[in-house]
Structure 1
Amino acid sequence: MKFSKQFSLYESEATHFIQSLKSANPKLEQSQRDGRALLWDKAPVDLSVQKDTLDSIVPQQPYVYQNKG
């Protein structure tokens, strides 16, 4: 929704800050994408491997520090 021509040219201080940060460091956006890929983008999991992993889990006793016997 456009209010008037006066507000169409408005840019906030945050926008100016981000634009100046990107112009000072042109590799910033690529390094952000690389960091996101490193932490969040995961390769697809093979379903048979996932099933084998879930089947191989050994149940843990409720209180791990108490010996049986």
Structure 2
Amino acid sequence: MALFKQHSMYESDHTKFIKELKARTPGMDERQQAGRALLWDKAPITLEEQRRIAESRIRQQAYPYQTKV
């Protein structure tokens, strides 16, 4: 435990850089959240849409390059 107390005030260069960047750029957190929402946060799919998507899937062959004769 003495090791943690000794280095509890240590801050890496990366952490300092991020803190300075956020201090210099107001609104950065909001833009990050908006970008995340644009790419990753999706609206929930209704049960009807789930059923339609499942029915429209075409099953692929186990080996797609084999021709059916």
Whether 2:53 is the aligned partner of 1:53: answer yes
**How many residues end up aligned between the 2 structures?**
62
**C-alpha separation between the residues in 2 aligned to 1:40 and 1:2?**
42
**C-alpha separation between the residues in 2 aligned to 1:52 and 1:4?**
56
Q: Deviations over 1:6-36 (max 9, x none)?
A: 3111101001000000000021111000000
Moved over 3 A (4+): 56-60
TM-score normalised according to structure 2 size: 0.71
Gaps of 5+ in 1: 64-69
Whether 2:17 is the aligned partner of 1:25: answer no
Q: Secondary structure at the match of 1:26?
A: coil
**C-alpha separation between the residues in 2 aligned to 1:5 and 1:25?**
32
- What percent of counterpart residues are identical? 48
TM-score normalised according to structure 1 size: 0.71
